[in-house]
Structure 1
């Protein structure tokens, strides 16, 4: 399987959102992704963004509200980027190729809108909020499920519903493993290794 690369434009928070709200979310995401949610305080976000505390609390009643807004932002950026990478695939094999080519680009810092690769923000966030009933943890789980549904829908162009769901679940599992290997072990070839496994799965459907 040959992995290909492409360039994409940077998604933003909806233009209808106030500029300072956008700035707060962008700044908070960068800090949370780099230093963890619990490792970053409100004052650091305010200092980095240059925005007054009163303005922050005008848009977000608490840090938890800001965290949820950041998760929603990252969810939309990541979802839109990954969907754009597989949307135009002409075959199931091409879709699988594009899925892992996208991850390979991310691992090698070729996707500007995702920032420097530091693993999965949703994995990190769920690990900080371990209670499955917590809104942050639930948002992270919903993000993962959303990606699998999107992938299954795309695969449904060529496969029956049951096969499309099974393959989507398997590809998402490979994606998660590749992300962990790339971050924790520094194995930046993980996406390419996962792509080879995925090709075998597709042949045996």
Structure 2
């Protein structure tokens, strides 16, 4: 791992566990084992490092979830896999994603809550990409416009709600509950 990646990885682990504003540059430097000069060689500011961390997590999370969904047939199997993947993640069965501390993008938006901020917009972009994965599953079921967007939003809300319930209330069965509710939502469109 090169020094830039080492900084990004170390910053991500600290930000995800403790919150972005709670972590100082010196803590990142100590964890990464690099000098301040190295940090500022790669990043002009802490905000630039944060943007790189958000991009890093976006790529890692999106690739992981997309690869999980590619293993199964789109549609019913894909939606089941979506919630099974979330269940694996919240129950710390996905080494690639680090221990579960809620959704990094939701947590980041709570700290950077101005929708005009670039970091907020990066998080928003991530959620849109994840929604596109869900929409592919909905389209494979044969659900047509305009219902496709409504059903995609409904499934996304259930997924996001499961993540929040697991993080905030410690409900480690939330993804399975959300999966059950998803089939109730889908039944209205598939009958």
- Which bin holds the TM-score, normalised by the shorter protein? over 0.9
* Pair 1:190 & 2:174 matched: yes
| Counterpart for residue 153 of structure 2 | 169
Confirm whether residue 135 of structure 1 aligns to residue 118 of structure 2.
yes
Deviation readout 1:49-106 (Å, 9 max, x if unpaired): 1111111111100000000000000001111111111123325211111010000001
Determine if contact 2:12/2:53 at 8 Å carries over to the other structure: yes
Structure with the higher helix share, 1 or 2: 2
Q: For residues 80-91 of structure 1, what are the structure 2 equivalents within 5 Å?
A: 80-91=63-74
Contact residue 87 and residue 154 of structure 1 kept, 8 A:
no
Larger RCO (CA within 8 A; separation ≥ 6): 1
Greater Cα shift, 166-175 or 52-61:
166-175
Structure 2 counterpart of 1:54, from 37, 42, 47? 37
Range with bigger deviation, 136-145 or 97-106: 136-145
What count of residue pairs does the alignment treat as equivalent? Answer: 188
Higher mean displacement: 143-152 or 96-105: 143-152
Moved over 6 A (4+): none
Counterpart of 1:104 in structure 2 is: 87
3-state SS in 1 of match to 2:140: coil
Question: How far apart in 2 are the matches of 1:70 and 1:37?
Answer: 10
CA offsets, 1:151-182, max 9 Å, x none?
21343233234333322211111111101110
Aligned to 1:114: 97
Instruction: Work out whether residues 79 and 137 of structure 2, in 8 Å CA contact, stay in contact via their aligned partners in 1.
Output: no
Q: How does 1:6-17 map onto structure 2 within 5 Å?
A: none
CA RMSD after TM alignment = 1.3
The aligned residue for residue 185 of structure 2 is: 201
Is contact 1:153-1:164 (8 Å) kept? no
Structure 1 counterpart of 2:134 = 151
Q: Is the 8 A contact 1:104 1:188 kept in 2?
A: yes
Match of 1:179 among 142, 163, 187: 163
